[in-house]
């Protein structure tokens, strides 16, 4: 085996292991799947084509030059769901807590560019602690690029976000701009800033669940659309949803068989919005 091929295989194995077996075991202990295991459940068997596998961050501050993992905390590529093409990115919490670096953001942006070019849905599996603090402004600039892609893709291709971990700050701004948001009960959270900061600023004690848990966002704030019991249920729900949306704004809606008559009356819709504009609904 040539030195080049041996080096490629070494990097491929390093990318596959992410943050290492110890952190993978910790992820499993929380009842969560790893980034690659999630893609195995979401996509048709054998359909995943990974892109930008060997990308590494270019930060040289705070000793980061000695901590480089191929893939840089996000697995990106394309695959099929029931034979239909989708583009995906899956953040890896075992690598720097899934935090977003400049190169991490570039991988996500490239996947979204590809999706818009060919006209295919984008599915993001979010499990991130937010911006990578070691990169400072460069990381925040990466988020700006991702947000811009969300805006450009809006109305062009369907965008689906699965919140599968404790996402905070920039890690939830992007999902909030997508078309559909699914969350996992007891293991996923969406908030701009965490309970500790809330206590410092307002002197109010609040739990992660009350601040941004799946139940809160699906019953009170209406930020998310579904709260699922675990990773598997969320991924299977995403597979089902993709069957109801068009590939892009250039394609017709899928036609599915139904025995529900088109002219069925649903009287409860008349009371969905209250007569008074001051009343919430």
> Which residue matches tokens 């394609």?
251
Instruction: For residue 129, give the nearest of 100, 160, 164 by alpha carbon.
Output: 100
What does the mean pLDDT of the chain come to? 90
**Residue 91: beta bridge partners?**
74
Instruction: For residue 133, give the nearest of 175, 90, 169 by alpha carbon.
Output: 169
The structural domain count of the chain equals 1
The boundaries of the domain holding residue 181 are: 3-271
Residue 245 inside a domain? The answer is: yes
Residue 257 inside a domain? The answer is: yes
**Tokens coding 225:** 């659309």
What CATH number is given to the structural domain containing 242? 3.90.226.10
Q: What is the mean pLDDT of residues 46-59?
A: 86
Q: Please report which confidence band the pLDDT of residue 1 belongs to, taking 50, 70 and 90 as the band edges.
A: low
> What SS3 class is residue 1?
coil
Residue 276 inside a domain? The answer is: no
Would you say residue 98 has pLDDT above 90? Answer: no
Q: What is the pTM of this model?
A: 0.88
Would you say residue 147 has pLDDT above 90? Answer: yes
Residue 103 inside a domain? The answer is: yes
Tell me, what's the pLDDT at 5?
87
- pLDDT (tens digit per residue) in 250-259: 999 888 888 9
- pLDDT (tens digit per residue) in 100-127: 889 999 999 999 999 999 999 999 999 9
User: Do 112 and 120 contact (CB within 8 A), yes or no?
Assistant: no
What are the phi and psi torsion angles at 232 (to 5°)?
-60, -50
User: Do 91 and 127 contact (CB within 8 A), yes or no?
Assistant: yes
- pLDDT (tens digit per residue) in 181-217: 999 998 899 988 888 888 899 888 888 888 888 999 9
Longest dimension (CA), the chain: 75
Residue 111 inside a domain? The answer is: yes
Would you say residue 47 has pLDDT above 70? Answer: yes
Residue 140 inside a domain? The answer is: yes
Residue 76 inside a domain? The answer is: yes
User: Do 112 and 153 contact (CB within 8 A), yes or no?
Assistant: yes
Residue 37 inside a domain? The answer is: yes
Instruction: For residue 184, give the nearest of 239, 241, 243, 125 by alpha carbon.
Output: 125
Tell me, what's the pLDDT at 236?
96
Query: What does 84-112 look like in DSSP terms, one character per residue?
Result: EEEEEEEE-TTTGGG-B-HHHHHHHHHHH
In sign, the C-alpha dihedral spanning 138, 139, 140, 141 is positive
Instruction: Identify the DSSP state of 254.
Output: P
Q: Under 8 Å CB-to-CB from 231, ≥6 apart: which residues?
A: 31, 32, 33, 38, 41, 164, 184, 187
Would you say residue 57 has pLDDT above 90? Answer: no
């Amino acid at each position: 085996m040539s030195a080049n091929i041996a080096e490629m295989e070494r990097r491929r194995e390093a990318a596959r292991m992410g943050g290492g077996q110890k952190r993978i075991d910790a992820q499993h202990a929380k009842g969560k799947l790893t980034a690659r295991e999630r893609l195995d459940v979401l996509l048709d068997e054998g359909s995943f084509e990974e892109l930008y596998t060997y990308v590494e961050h270019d930060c040289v501050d705070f000793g980061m030059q000695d901590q480089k993992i191929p893939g840089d905390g996000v697995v990106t590529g394309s695959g099929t769901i029931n034979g239909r093409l989708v583009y995906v990115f899956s953040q890896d919490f075992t690598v720097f807590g899934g935090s977003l670096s400049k190169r991490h953001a570039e991988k996500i942006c490239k996947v979204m560019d590809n999706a818009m070019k060919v006209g295919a849905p984008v599915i993001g599996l979010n499990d991130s602690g937010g911006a990578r603090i070691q990169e400072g402004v460069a990381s925040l600039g990466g988020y700006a690029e991702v947000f811009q892609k969300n805006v450009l893709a809006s109305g062009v291709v369907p965008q689906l976000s699965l919140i599968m971990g404790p996402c905070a700050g920039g890690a939830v701004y992007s999902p909030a701009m997508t078309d559909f948001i699914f969350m996992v009960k007891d293991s996923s959270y969406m908030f701009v800033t965490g309970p500790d900061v809330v206590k410092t600023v307002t002197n109010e004690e609040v739990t992660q669940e009350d601040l941004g848990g799946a139940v809160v966002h699906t019953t009170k704030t209406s930020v998310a659309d579904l709260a699922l019991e675990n990773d598997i249920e969320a991924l299977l729900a995403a597979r089902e949803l993709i069957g109801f949306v068009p590939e892009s704004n250039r394609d017709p809606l899928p036609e599915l068989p139904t025995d529900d008559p088109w002219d069925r009356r649903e009287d409860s819709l008349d009371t969905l919005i209250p007569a008074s504009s001051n009343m919430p609904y």
